[in-house]
Amino acid sequence: MHSIPDDVDASTYRFIIVAAKRARQLQNGQRSVLPATNKKPTTLAMEEVRRGLVPYSDVTQEEALLLKESLTE
């Protein structure tokens, strides 16, 4: 059974969202950075995120508003 990291600084919600997006990328044909061992995309994605191999950044509320405004123009 795979577990969600118990890092107090990390958000469980963030871990799940990042892993889900990475799993979707893997399902759409992107290669895993880990050796392929016939694992499901969700399992590979969770392991990649847990090891810190998937880069992501948090968006502040101000950045989110600017992005939303630029998309609606």
pLDDT digits (tens, 9 = 90+) for 4-35: 565 656 688 888 899 999 999 999 999 998 88
Task: Please state, in angstroms and rounded to a whole number, the distance separating the CA atoms of residues 2 and 36.
Answer: 17
CATH number of the domain at 12-72, out of 1.20.1070, 1.10.3470, 3.90.940, 1.10.287? 3.90.940
pLDDT given for residue 38 in this prediction: 75
Task: Please state, in angstroms and rounded to a whole number, the distance separating the CA atoms of residues 34 and 60.
Answer: 31
How far apart, in Å, are the Cα atoms of 43 and each of 24, 39, 57, 60, 62? Answer: 12, 6, 22, 29, 34
pTM (2 d.p.): 0.69
Please report, for the chain, the start and end positions of each structural domain, with discontinuous segments joined by +.
Answer: 12-72
Q: Which amino acid is at 33?
A: V
- Residue 46 binned pLDDT confidence (cut-offs 50, 70, 90): very high
